[in-house]
Structure 1
């Protein structure tokens, strides 16, 4: 009986928490706007130096934007990122995933985080993984990410890039990741 009461209480609290995310004056958030909100709150947790690419990832041999190419970033993963200039520091042939997860450090859940690559998943099996697949992250892009259980929201087979970029007053080197459709030639 106690277990049922605990589960019922947890379900009720979860529903109340979700309903408290928007008011009558605010539109309900979609996963895309939630992801932006989550990145805004976690912006300073994002590593300024993304470090080396993960082991086992394959360098792209025919990338549209080879290493050293200046680009304009179209992605809005973090505030101030969209429209900024960047320089490609790595180009790879892999599968990129948007994932939702609860960080291991107890911070708020992250919805539709873009991107982690196949090589940043623990024992993932063959790529691509289906939407809805539960995985364990080995990526360390932000605090609480490595070791977190995540659900794959979507995937893409585009060339994946590491980029040096300045966004919202923060210089990031080897930012992980931008996919090809999120970049254009620098103007």
Structure 2
């Protein structure tokens, strides 16, 4: 039986813009910076300011698509070792989020964990979230952090600091060719 949260019903959104934001954060961390690079932050701010409401929603959907793609990859990687992706990814994600109280308010953590569980079980994170109403401003940083933490988790597993970004870029290139 088909679920209303099946990914086939979900908007893909602006995956490119969402990926650019996540990739810039990954590069900041790997460069050893704890604060955003002013030049990079200015570019992100300009992009965000130029989006408008429709564009912002597209980036939100794009971030959810990234979470879905990352969890799909993680699920497949864990299944190869007869492990459950939810059991191995969600607890460490939640623990990490709890250590980030300036960026992630405690009340946002269950929603982000739910998004990850939805994606890990093959459901669309954006459609799963939509069941509970509109996104709130307080969920924007946690959503970005969730996508970032999943990308970083993949990069650590593969021992390649660019693997997650490259995986998505290659998938987008393949989609463009089709």
Report TM bin, short chain.
under 0.3
Relative contact order (C-alpha < 8 Å, sep 6+): which is higher? 2
Largest Rg, 1 or 2: 1
Higher helix share: 2
Answer 1 or 2: which has greater strand percent. Answer: 1
TM-score by length of 1: 0.24
TM-score (norm 2): 0.25
